[in-house]
Amino acid sequence: MSAAELPVTFRPHRTRVVLVGAGLVIFATLTAIGLALSLNVGERISFIVVGLLFLGGLLLLGRPKVVADDDGVTVTNLTHRRHLAWAEILRVNLGPGDPWVSLDLADGTSLPVMGIQPGIARQQAERDARALAGMAAERGTAASGA
């Protein structure tokens, strides 16, 4: 990918569609059940709240993404977001059986990247991992001579 194509966002689209769809179905089903049964107001509200909790949890699982731009990579996982300069990324890893990509970082740690996950779209995840690895090689420590 060339610099003209940045920023680019990597996200597990199929997984996200499944999660959002399932969340909406669960919410609608629990709401319908709560309204259809002869329950008091508090019980009906509790059915709706439980449906909202399921929907919220599944939306949270669909949150991960990776945004690559000229300055580096922003990794958004379930509950946190971290920005990395290109020089911080030494290697992009996606091995057989890995649930998602991980980044080897210059400080000796690794960072899970849940925004590229092979779950139900292995080929897309492999293409995304290769593209991210190419960008990191082009702009990272190898490009800066480190």
Give just the sign of the alpha carbon dihedral 132, 60, 13, 19. positive
Is the pLDDT at 4 greater than 70? The verdict is no
d(Cα 13, Cα 33) in Å, to the nearest integer? 30
Each residue's pLDDT tens digit, 92-128: 999 998 999 999 999 999 999 999 998 888 899 999 9
Q: State pTM to two decimals.
A: 0.82
d(Cα 3, Cα 72) in Å, to the nearest integer? 11
d(Cα 111, Cα 81) in Å, to the nearest integer? 11
For residue 144, the model assigns a pLDDT of 46
d(Cα 34, Cα 46) in Å, to the nearest integer? 8
